[in-house]
Structure 1
Amino acid sequence: MTAPATAADAYPGYLDCLADADEYAAIDVALGLLDAGLPAERVLLDLVAPAQAEVGERWARNEWSVAQEHAATHISERVVAAVAAHARPQPTGGRVVVACMDGEWHALPPRLVAEVLRLRGWQVTFLGASVPAAHLVSYLRRHDAHAVALACALPVRLPHAHRMIEACRRSDVPVVVGGRGFGADGRWARRLGAAWAPDAPSAAELIADERALHRVPPAQLAHLADDEYASLVRRRGDLIDSALADLRERVPATRAYTAAQLDSTVSDLGHIVDFLAAALYVDDASLFTNFVGWLVGILTSRGVPAAAVDLSLRHFAGVLRDFPRVVHALAQGRAALLAADGRTAA
């Protein structure tokens, strides 16, 4: 049998390798494409990246467990390392530091960006997942970096992202950001005053363009003066406790939850508050609406009805009725939830 010569041809077999947790076979597929003449960048972007996106979708649809997702992600990381070792490009440009935002653990996408930059001649330092801002700044001061590329997969990390961006900027190092956390069109990166790249090739082109790298508009965060964001963050613990008590009152079955079920419920309530806070930070209710749609999809695939989420949104709306932007975001979230569930707001 002839080995696949394109990423599209190899993709189904590569996914099977991830599903079977067959690390060596997955590496063989990637290296086979390199031997067939496919550039290393295309192997990373047309094989590894879409396959990893499918891994995340299978977890979201409850087709794969967390353990299966972790195993597949580890294999993808090993494949990236094998492709990088096979290519062995020689650096011709300056140093670019690539890192995840503090609290951000999705390290594979920025690793792909780091390898594409390396393939294009940059001297790349990849710092990995969840890099504290102070540690990153200390590293930047010690090394003469041309630019720093920061990744954020979850919008909930945007307030932390802004502080990290500002810390890098104060060190006089240009910043490029990317990842789903900044919105599909980069709208929240622009709100934070950061240069945004939608993918690895775009990041490489932006970093190579000295003028574009430094042409960044100021952050647009005047709305934070209303103190709604800060107040919500301060009340986070009390809000979660009150929402949990409300659920126990309205849904008696929750009183018999196991410790694991209770932990999961508290975590979900925390996510609701945190995404609501992120929406306030960038003043965009669509951030929260998108999250509600995602959460409902995850929970319903696991047997939790959308009505349970709606109960919590209604509770928060009542408790936070004196916060206009919060009420607006919650109303938008409820409308999206109820429309998807075929109901109307009560």
Structure 2
Amino acid sequence: MTAAVTTEHREHYLALVGHGDEAAAVDYALGLAECGVSPRDLVLDLIGPTQRRIGDLWARDEWSVAQEHAATHVSEQVVAALAARHRPRPDRGVVVVACVDGEWHALPARLFAEVIRWDGWDVRFLGASVPGPHLVSYLHRHGPDVVAVSCSVPTRLTSAHRVIQAVQDVGVPVLAGGGGFGPGARWGTKLGADRVAADGRAALEVLRSWPLRAVAEVSPLRDSFVSDDEHVLVVKRGAQLVAVAMDRLADRFPAVHGYTAAQREATEYDLGQIVEFLCAGLFVDDVELFRAFVSWLCVVLASRRVPPETVDLVLDVYHDELFDFPRARAHLVAGRRQVPAGRQVAA
């Protein structure tokens, strides 16, 4: 009888990775496997949820970046240990798993790769940030049945779209998954992926039921995605937007004038992130993308004692500066409504 992962298991595992205790975490996971928990369930119900919890802890400033990185490294070693211990002979098709160009969050894709490997697939895991031309070259040489494209951050959706098109042009179908494709991986569908999966279990079901050899059975959305140039033009205005926002922040908060070079660089990075997520929302024409980002950003900044007024001010500046971009202004209005106690901009 197969054992299940419990809340107590997850809490104990979180404590181990939080202390960076690699040996203990590996032993704990292997011990659970010996007690009847399947490797698949350890990945989907223990390691995956723990990684999401770690992200929340960082966002709320309860964990540092260093602690988050250390914990992620431990989980990578746990996955490697489970993979070395459980090596089934593949009896299904060949699946290439790759992160889109510029996507450095490789662990979610690695978790998926091992889950489908344990389901009998012959998996070729290419890792983080695979440039499109290199991926296409690999496909020409190895001819897989499907390419699973991973995207964890919505700001990489333009890269994801290019990769999806390039892979399909080779005649290989695409399965899109990862948090960057949005709730239910809906932006993967919009960008023309042949199939999408919201999580690892859904991906297993998709692969099991998909007639991979029938490449002619393509997504009805393939080649139908159309985006205007507004997101491109806003990207080009990015540096100008950040500069104006920095000036306005300094006017409102005189302490900004005394920032160190590191503080100024960090602030400019945050301002640039707002522009990038705005452009991602424009690219897929979904205001929810930017709205969700602003909600998350407010949580992150509040935990670091940054007043929400700063976010409201920056969104107001961008709204004024982008007076000739109606869709961008609509996204900014929606974003401002997510700021606690933020004043509203007329639509």
Band the TM-score falls in, shorter-chain normalisation: over 0.9
Letter in 2 for 1:305: P
Cα distance in 2 for partners of 1:345, 1:117 equals 47
**TM-score, length-scaled by structure 2:** 0.93
Cα distance in 2 for partners of 1:66, 1:197 equals 29
**Which residue does 2:178 correspond to in 1?**
179
**Which residue does 1:266 correspond to in 2?**
268
Deviating more after overlay: 144-153 vs 184-193: 184-193
2:279 counterpart SS class: helix
State which of 2, 7, 21 in structure 1 corresponds to 2:5.
7
2:147 counterpart SS class: strand
**Which residue does 1:50 correspond to in 2?**
49
CA contact (8 A) 2:151 2:177 kept: yes
User: Residue 37 of structure 1: CA displacement?
Assistant: 1.7
User: Residue 215 of structure 1: CA displacement?
Assistant: 4.0
User: Residue 252 of structure 1: CA displacement?
Assistant: 1.4
Render the CA deviation track for 1:207-260: whole Å, top value 9, x for unaligned: 2333488441225533x23x2122112222222222222222232111111112
Are 1:221 and 2:225 matched, yes or no? yes
Deviating more after overlay: 66-75 vs 91-100: 91-100
Are 1:286 and 2:299 matched, yes or no? no
Are 1:92 and 2:59 matched, yes or no? no
1:62 counterpart SS class: coil
**Which residue does 2:318 correspond to in 1?**
316
Deviating more after overlay: 317-326 vs 8-17: 8-17
2:337 counterpart SS class: helix
Cα distance in 1 for partners of 2:4, 2:186 equals 34
How many residues align? The count is: 337
CA contact (8 A) 1:10 1:29 kept: no
Cα distance in 2 for partners of 1:121, 1:143 equals 18
**TM-score, length-scaled by structure 1:** 0.93
Query: Unpaired runs of 5+ in structure 1?
Result: none
Cα distance in 2 for partners of 1:91, 1:44 equals 19
Cα distance in 1 for partners of 2:310, 2:60 equals 19
CA contact (8 A) 2:184 2:197 kept: no
User: Residue 162 of structure 1: CA displacement?
Assistant: 0.5
Cα distance in 1 for partners of 2:38, 2:342 equals 51
1:244 counterpart SS class: helix
Letter in 1 for 2:172: V
CA contact (8 A) 1:97 1:125 kept: yes
CA contact (8 A) 1:176 1:196 kept: yes
Matching of residues 1-346 of structure 1 within 5 Å: 6-8=4-6, 9-194=8-193, 195-211=195-211, 214-219=217-222, 220-222=224-226, 224-225=227-228, 227-337=229-339, 341-345=340-344
Deviating more after overlay: 200-209 vs 298-307: 200-209
Cα distance in 2 for partners of 1:94, 1:189 equals 22
CA contact (8 A) 2:17 2:71 kept: yes
CA contact (8 A) 1:99 1:127 kept: yes
Deviating more after overlay: 153-162 vs 210-219: 210-219
CA RMSD of aligned residues (A): 1.5
Cα distance in 1 for partners of 2:237, 2:225 equals 21
Query: Unpaired runs of 5+ in structure 2?
Result: none
Percent sequence identity over aligned pairs: 48
1:7 counterpart SS class: coil
Cα distance in 1 for partners of 2:253, 2:11 equals 44
Question: Which stretches of structure 1, 4 residues or more, deviate above 6 A after TM superposition?
Answer: none
CA contact (8 A) 2:95 2:121 kept: yes
Letter in 1 for 2:203: A
Cα distance in 2 for partners of 1:187, 1:147 equals 19
CA contact (8 A) 2:92 2:121 kept: yes
